[in-house]
Structures are given as C-alpha cells and as structure tokens.
Amino acid sequence: MDPRLGTAAAVVIGMPAVIIGYIYGTELVLARTSEHLRTRLRPWLWLLPALLFLFLFLIWPTILTILRSFQGRLAGSWVGFANYSWFFTSGDALTALRNNVLWVVFLTLITVGLGLIVAVLVDRVRYESIAKSIIFVPLAISMTAAAVIWRFMFEYQSAGQPQTGTLDAMLTLFGFKPISWLQVETGAFNTILLIIVMAWMWTGFAMVILSAALKGISPELLEAARVDGATEWQVFRRIVFPLLTPTIAVVSTTMVITALKAFDIVYVMTGGNFGTDVVASLMIKQMSFNEFGRSSALAVVLLIAIIPVMLVNINRFRAQEAIR
C-alpha cells in the first residue's frame, strides 16, 4: 500500500480532530476563568487558527514580497526602485502590462456582454436548463484542460498539408490560407485568442449570476410595461437593464480580478511566447531565472492593480452590511 495513504488519512481525520480538540481545550481553560474574562477571551480563541493561517500565508508573505521588490537578485542588496524602473523600461514587461490591460477590457466585456445576452434569451425558451448547463460547464474544468481542448482548435499545419485544427480546416474549406493562430502577434491577435478561451470558461459564471438576478425581477412589473405598449427592447432597456446594473457591477469586478490574475491559459497554451506574456506569467518566468527582486516587483504591480477593485468590494460590503 502507498505509504502516502496513511499520511493523507492521518491528515483528513487528524486536522479536524486537532481543531475540534483545540476548541474543547480552550473551553476547559476558560471554565477556570471569570464569566467576564470568558466572554472577552473566547472570540479571540475561536478566531486564532484562522487569523494565524491568514497571517502566515497571506499577510506576512505579502509584506516580505513588497520589501523584496526593493532588493536585487540577492536578498539584502537594496536597490531602491531599480526593479520598478526595469519594469517600466523593459519591452517584455511593457508588453505584459499592455496584455493585462487587453485581458481586463476584453475578458470583462465578452463575459459580461455575452452572459447578459444568454441570460436574457435563455429565459424565453423551454430548453433553458440544458442551454445554461452547456455554457456553464467549462467553469468546472481546469484551465489546463481548457487549454488542451482549445489547442486542437488552433492547431496549424502549413498550407497544402491536411489541416488537423478545427479553425484552419474551416478556413481552407472556404479557400482561405491556414493561419498559425497563436503565433500571430499583429494587433495582439494571439492574446485576444487566449482571452476568448478564458471567456469560453467564464461566460457561464456571468450568465448564472445575471440570470438569477433577472429572475428576481417582478414579472408583474414587466407585464405592466408591456400592457402599456412598451416593446420588448424598451422593456429591456428601461426596466430590466437598470435593475440589473448592480449585479452587472458585481460580476464585472470579479471578471476584472480574474483577468488581472490570468496565468494558466497563457502558460499552458503559449508559455508566454509570441508576445502573449501577462504580468503573472512574466513573474513566474523571472522567478525561474532566480530574479527574485524583479519577480517580487511584478507581483507588487499586480497587487497595486487589484487594490482599487479591493476598495470597491469593501465599500460594497459596507453598504450591504448597513442595510442588513
């Protein structure tokens, strides 16, 4: 038997046992203290494991990475803003930055736009649940699997050879020349293709949330507008769309974050070659060159780009709590 099986079983049973044991243990200790101290201490003891994890795996490393971004290849060699000036002068890094902007704009537009269209259309047909499942299911698979699936769409054989990629076969069928899809850097064409793969995965996410919000709109309201002679387009434009705006904003922020963090699709499909690198993939590349200073600076750039979205999320959360 695999010895790792024992370890895994020990962890699966042991970890919950340790945490539950910890809580019971703190209760034993608390039982000896005064009522007043007990109610003051208990919340912190219950929070402690979570706070420890958050501190050790998110907060502390982030602080260290920010400090590391001001050091060179070797830890402790302080270089000021050199890594950042490298970022804003190196061609590769600027391309990655431009690509990230493209990712944010196009991934958000495609997923939210298409998700909204599908959510509205699918509401009017009898095969709604099947259509939704088909659009939604790519979200459950790994980006690695999605990248493999799409590789066979974009596969290229030189003209004259039998085409094995789906898209090139269609092109040659209509008498066009086959295209080496993922190698076309002009106008960041290949980056757009990678964004389409990601949109194939994430449109279902936008659709499901928008569809739930759409079904929350009172049917009487729409009916009243129709009775008053509003066309379907007017109903959508004047009633449905304004009511969906908050949900669209929520979905958009999630998509912006997803786009900023984009890594897997680029890494598996092109490895960042042909000008398709994004900040996250360039960071991993620099890490593999042992350029930990530059790599840290790239991670910090990513963090800075995400902070506005973080603040929007926090504000929205506060507003929700206020009406709770």
Partner 1 sequence: MTALAGAERAAVARPGRRAFGGGLRRLVLHGTLVILMLIWLLPTIGLFVNSFRSSADITASGWWTALFPPTGLTLDSYAKVLGQTDIGSGFINSLFITIPATIIPIFVAAFAAYAFSWMNFPFRNGLFVAVVGLLVVPLQTTFIPILQAYGKLNIAGEFLTVWLAHAGYGLPFAIYLLRNFMGSLPKEVFESAAIDGASPVTSFFRLALPMSVPAIAALAIFQFLFVWNDLLVAFIYLGSVRPENLPMTVQINNLVNQFGAGWELLGPAAFLSMALPLAVFFALQRYFVRGITGGAVKG
217 binds partner 1 (CB under 8 A): yes
Tell me the C-alpha distance between 282 and 83, whole Å.
13
Residue type, 49: P
Nearest approach in angstroms of CB 306 to partner 1 is 5
Q: Which residues contact 157 (CB under 8 A, 6 or more apart)?
A: 163, 164, 165, 168, 178
Q: Which of 6, 15, 74, 85 binds partner 1 (CB under 8 A)?
A: 15
Q: How many residues bind partner 1 (CB under 8 A)?
A: 120
Q: Which residues inside 51-70 make contact with partner 1, applying CB under 8 A?
A: 51, 53-54, 56-62, 64-66, 68
Tally Cβ neighbours within 10 Å of residue 109. 14
Taking Cα atoms as reference points, which of 315, 198, 169, 184 lies closest to residue 249? 315
Judged by CB, which is closer to partner 1: 186, or 258? Answer: 258
- Of 91-99, 114-122, 174-182, 186-194, the segment contacting partner 1 by CB under 8 A is 114-122
What's the count of helices (H) and strands (E) in the chain, helices before strands? 16, 0
From the CB of 284, what's the least distance to partner 1, in Å?
8
Residues 184-203 binding partner 1 (CB under 8 A) are 200
Say whether residue 249 binds partner 1 (CB under 8 A): no
Q: Is there binding between residue 232 and partner 1 (CB under 8 A)?
A: yes
CA dist., res. 162 & res. 159, Å (int): 8
Q: Which of the stretches 81-89, 92-100, 177-185, 303-311 binds partner 1 when contact is defined by CB under 8 A? A: 303-311
CA distances in angstroms from 181 to 144, 162, 274, listed in the order given: 19, 16, 11
- Report the nearest approach of partner 1 to the CB of residue 90 (Å): 18
Backbone angles phi, psi at 71, to 5 degrees: -115, 160
C-alpha closest to that of 66 among 285, 303, 286, 280: 303
On the CB side of 117, CA atoms within 13 Å amount to 7
Least Cβ distance, residue 89 to partner 1 (angstroms): 21
- Does the protein bind partner 1 through residue 4 (CB under 8 A)? yes
CA–CA separation, 119 vs 215, rounded Å?
A: 10
Which residues inside 263-302 make contact with partner 1, applying CB under 8 A? 263-264, 267-268, 271, 280, 283-284, 287, 292, 295-296, 298-300, 302
Among 93, 104, 193, 213, binds partner 1 (CB under 8 A): 213
Q: Which burial class, exposed, middle or buried, applies to 190 when counting CB atoms under 10 A from its CB (0-12, 13-18, 19+)?
A: buried
6, 20, 78, 90: residue in contact with partner 1 (rule CB under 8 A) = 20
Q: Which is nearer to partner 1, 186 or 295 (by Cβ)? A: 295
Interface positions, 130-159, toward partner 1 (CB under 8 A):
131, 133-135, 137-138, 140-145, 147-153
Binding to partner 1 by residue 43, rule CB under 8 A? yes
DSSP-assigned letters across all residues of 88-124? HH-HHHHHHHHHHHHIIIIIHHHHHHHHHHHHHHHTT
Among 102, 169, 192, 230, binds partner 1 (CB under 8 A): 169
